Amino acid sequence: MAEQVKSDPGSRPVGQCLHDQFAAQARRRGNSVAVVQGERSLTYAELHERAGALAARLRAEGVGPDVVVGLFAERSLEMLIGMIGIMEAGGAYLPLRVDDPADRVSFILRDAGVRVVVTTPVTDERDLDFDGVRVRADADGAVLPAAQSPVRAGEENLAYVIYTSGTTGTPKGVAVPHRAAARIVRTGVYGDFDEHQTFLQACPLSFDASVFEIWAALANGARLVLLPQQRSSADAVIDTVRRYGVTTCWLTPTLFNQLVDEGRLKNSGLRQVVVGGEVVSTPHLAQAMRSTDIRFANGYGPTEAGVFTCCHIFQESDLAYAPPPVGTPLPGTQVWILDEAMRPVPDGELGELYIGGPALAREYHQRPDLTERAFLPDPFGETADGRIYRSGDLARMLPGGLVQVVGRTDGQVKIRGNRVELTEVEAALLDEPSVAQAAVVDRGEGAGRVLAAYVIPAHGATPTVAELRSRLATRLPDYMIPTEFHRLERLPLTRHGKTDRAALRAETGAPRLELGTAYRPAAGELEALIAGIWAEVLGVPAVGMDDNYFDLGGTSITIKQAQLRLEERTGVRLPSTALYEYPTVRALAEALAKHEV
């Protein structure tokens, strides 16, 4: 029998569907506030009633168990009504990012075979290539007659389908049943989830950590606070935490590191923080643990394994490891660390992490070929459904049965907590007529990790940064658009004839592509000050009036540095979203002069 790591055999995972757990809380705590955003709020009873009315309308459109329904909603109360209403109807929600290119959203709807989409007043009129039914989450509707007894979803029915970056160049949908998602909302395993907590919801629904943010609150009678701003930032998160008395939140290591560096977790009122989505920095964790009384936990797991596979409340002893351990499997989850021959490796040695048990997703939605490659027959005969998932993560077993994840075996990387397949970005670049060959790598560590593209132009073509970024923005989410664009005469190859990504990561001398905007020097004192600060922060020789901050290689991390230097020299503190709204020197200077920021 293969050596494996199991959850506590005396602990049993939650059995109810997520919406059933919410309904039980609505009956028990009907008059208590369930969700808050800005000045708006809904009690448990109000949220349950509105979701039930939406469910009735969805059933009339043929929604039932395992029917996938698009959820095209910005972060709002209507978003929650839509999510719960879809589940209450028996369906599975498919979150669609409202800031993604319309072509990408339309592709996902076609690929998933969606015929019904739940919208909000903000998204209902968006132009999509979709000829199905749109149902507004906020529209009035009658509840089902008492005589009707709709078919309800069970534990094996789908709860949601989340699309992730794909190795084939197109995104793929991970179909997750209720039994996998419900494991992560059980209190007492890696945090206290009860009616005395206030949770923050800050990440996009297409990021499966949102399942934890929302359902750890609503399944346990807690209060949920929705981040008022649509774009998450350190400023927005910490201001919301303090204003609404948030006690529990989930953070990517990128955001966690920034808050630690700035000392903003101290006296924030937070009691427990779950960190996940990327490798955790041991020095930042040590500083946070020793300077606050917050309880920090790790939440590790791929989307294919019900959000979290392993969780762990960090202890002082964990700081001896870099990165710190991700912990032990949650109840109802099994993991193995195996070599290339599918044999268990000795403790302390590196191998690939495999996952089994009720944590597993059902499949890649309507992609049996991908499902067969990733969800393998259980060679040990130790899982109830006879399957294990090949995670692609490199891991080792530490003393005490703790799992440490140290990297990847393939071309998948994490950028600001988001999963990115390098081959998908490369495929988008290769579709550009001006590009003959392309390779993309990640560069840097932690919060400073960025994507760097290396391009061989087509014969006679002169692609520019502005041109390529603009074209990629019609196909890819912003976090998948490279920060750096370099020109090469040829791509380095390994001895096996494959692109040598290690050589590209080390390549720092390759010339950058031209920006594609005419250089215009600063016209005034304020413009010159902004241009000088940007040049300092981004390490470029000069910045013109119309150069785009992001075309120059700007990132969310360098934005903070640029804004701090501007504040030091002018006394003006910019909101965290300023450079997204005014990304050129000219635009930002004009907005400052008019007091628009």
Residues 538 and 583 in one domain: yes
pLDDT surpassing 90 at residue 500: no
Instruction: Give the domain-ending residue among 506, 533, 559.
Output: 506
Task: Please give the sequence-ordered ranges of beta strands (E in DSSP) within 38-146, or none if there are none.
Answer: 40-43, 68-72, 92-96, 116-119, 133-136
Q: Is residue 470 part of a domain?
A: yes
Is the distance from CB of 285 to CB of 296 less than 8 angstroms?
A: yes
Residues 488 and 559 in one domain: no
Q: Is residue 490 part of a domain?
A: yes
Max avg pLDDT among 178-187, 286-295, 419-428: 286-295
Question: For residue 462, what are the domain limits?
Answer: 412-506
Instruction: Give the domain-ending residue among 439, 473, 506.
Output: 506
Residues 537 and 483 in one domain: no
Give the whole-angstrom CA distance, residue 489 versus residue 511: 11
Give the tens place of pLDDT for each residue, 81-103: 999 999 999 999 999 999 999 99
Tokens representing 489? Answer: 């005469």
Residues 461 and 531 in one domain: no
> Of residues 528 and 168, which shows the higher confidence score?
528
| Residue 382: count of CB within 10 angstroms of its CB | 16
List Cα–Cα distances, 341 to 161, 338, 374, in angstroms: 32, 8, 16
> Of residues 501 and 33, which shows the higher confidence score?
33
Helix orientation angle between 282-291 and 253-261, rounded to the nearest 10 degrees: 50
Q: Which distant-in-sequence residues (6+ apart) come within 8 Å of 567 by Cβ? A: 573, 574
Q: Is residue 502 part of a domain?
A: yes
pLDDT score recorded for residue 10: 35
Residues 532 and 589 in one domain: yes
Residues 547 and 580 in one domain: yes
Q: Is residue 125 part of a domain?
A: no
DSSP per-residue codes, 115-175 = -EEEE-TTTTT---S--SEEEETTS--PPPPTT--PPPP-TTSEEEEEEE--TTSS-EEEE
Residues 498 and 552 in one domain: no
Residues 490 and 416 in one domain: yes
**Overall number of domains in the chain:** 2
Mean pLDDT, range 409-425, rounded to an integer: 83
Q: Which distant-in-sequence residues (6+ apart) come within 8 Å of 525 by Cβ? A: none
Residues 457 and 495 in one domain: yes
pLDDT score recorded for residue 9: 38
Q: Which distant-in-sequence residues (6+ apart) come within 8 Å of 20 by Cβ? A: none
> Residue type for 89, please?
A
What number of helices (H) and strands (E) belong to the chain? 17, 27
Give the whole-angstrom CA distance, residue 329 versus residue 359: 10
Residue that has been written with the tokens 């989410």 in this structure: 477
Give the whole-angstrom CA distance, residue 222 versus residue 201: 12
Residue among 410, 28, 408 nearest 195 (CA): 28
Q: Is residue 546 part of a domain?
A: yes
Give the tens place of pLDDT for each residue, 447-485: 678 899 999 999 999 999 999 999 999 989 888 999 999
Q: Is residue 588 part of a domain?
A: yes
pLDDT surpassing 70 at residue 342: yes
Is the distance from CB of 216 to CB of 193 less than 8 angstroms?
A: yes
Where is 275: in which H helix or E strand? strand 272-275
Residues 498 and 431 in one domain: yes
CA distance from start to end of the chain: 64
Domain CATH for 465: 3.30.300.30
Nearest-5° Cα angle at 527, 526 to 530: 85
Domain CATH for 577: 1.10.1200.10
Residues 501 and 529 in one domain: no
Q: Is residue 563 part of a domain?
A: yes
Handedness of CA 505, 510, 516, 517 (dihedral sign): positive
Is the distance from CB of 392 to CB of 412 less than 8 angstroms?
A: yes
Residues 492 and 571 in one domain: no
